[in-house]
Structure formats: C-alpha cells, structure tokens
Amino acid sequence: MEMTDIRASVASSGVEPSHDVQILRLYIAGQTPKSIKAFANLKKICEEHLTGKYRIEVIDLIQNPQLAAGDQILAVPTLVRRLPEPVRRIIGDLSNTERVLVGLDVRPAS
C-alpha cells in the first residue's frame, strides 16, 4: 500500500459528525510497516464494526511534527478517538481487534 492510499482514504466514510460517530485520528511517522499495518487493521475493524459511523484522519508526524504535542502523541502508531468524549488512545499496530474494540468502547472490557 502506498502513502497516497492512506491519505486518499482519510475522509472516505463521508459522514457528518454526530454523537454516535467516531472521529478517529491515526498518527503515524512515515510509511513504516507498522503504520501500514495499523491503517489496514483500523480500516478493517471500522468497516466491520462501525459501518457508516466513523471518520478516519491520518496524520503523518514526519510531515506535520507540530501536531504531535497537541494530541499528546508519544508512540506511533497511535489511534486517537477524539469524539465522542472521553478521548481514548490506542497505541500499536491495532493487530488485536478485541482490544481495539474495547478501546473504542464498542465492546465492554472483559
């Protein structure tokens, strides 16, 4: 997958923000295997579990380093759920779907 592919899919869900829409931001640092894997995992989880109720922004910190501080980014990849509150952070390549769903409050923690 190319970088442009990730960027192209940023606004792909095309829904307006509302209370049940998940506004998600994926922070990456360049086209690393980890970033690509994380994006692929995220897209898959969203399509399966949040159909039509999500929006994903991908932010590459290499190009926009100034954005790291604002969302308290340390680790990459980091997925930040900005809405609905509270803000949640999931770090890692999102390879564990169950944990991602717990993190996004889609599924209660077992």
Partner 1 sequence: MAIEDPSGQYSSVVTTLPKSPTGIEGFDQVTGGGLPTGRPTLICGGAGCGKTLFAISFLVHGAVKFDEPGVFMSFEESSDELAKNVASLGFDLPGLIEKKQIVLDHVKVERSEIEETGDYDLEGLFIRLGFAIDSIGAKRVVLDTIESLFAGLVNQSILRAELRRLFRWLRDKGVTAIITGERGEGTLTRQGLEEYVSDAVILLDHRVTEQISTRRLRIVKYRGSAHGTNEYPFLIDEDGIAVLPVTSLGLSHGVSAERISSGIARLDTMLGGPGYFRGSTVLVSGTAGAGKSSIAAHFLDAACRRGERCLACVFEESLAQVVRNMRSIGIDLQQWVDRGLLEYHAARPSLHGLEMHLSRMHRAVDRFRPSVVVLDPVSSLLTVAHETDVQATLTRMIDYLKMQGITALMTSLTHGRNEQEQTDTAISSLVDTWLLLVTLESSGERNRGLYVLKSRGMGHSNQIREFLLTDHGVELVDVYAGPSGVLTGSARVTQEAQERAAVLVQEQELDRKERTLERLRAAFEAELAALRAKFEAEQADLAIGIDENRSRAARLCADRDDIAQSRGADAPGSGNGRKQKGRV
Question: Which residue ranges make up the site for partner 1 (CB under 8 A)?
Answer: 27, 29, 34, 37-38, 41, 61-62, 65-66, 68-69, 72-78, 86-96, 99-100, 102-103
Of the candidates 48, 63, 56, the one whose C-alpha atom is nearest the C-alpha of residue 82 is 56
Nearer to partner 1, 15 or 95 (CB): 95
Q: Select 53 or 107, whichever has its Cβ closest to partner 1.
A: 107
Q: How far apart are CA 96 and CA 56, in angstroms?
A: 18
The span from the CA of 107 to the CA of 110, in Å, is 9
21 vs 68, beta carbon nearer partner 1: 68
In whole angstroms, the minimum distance from the beta carbon of 39 to partner 1 comes to 13
Q: DSSP state, 9?
A: T
Chain Cα centroid distance, residue 14: 15
Q: Are 101 and 49 in contact (CB under 8 A)?
A: yes
Residue 7 C-beta: closest distance to partner 1, Å: 18
CB of 14 to partner 1, least distance (A): 27
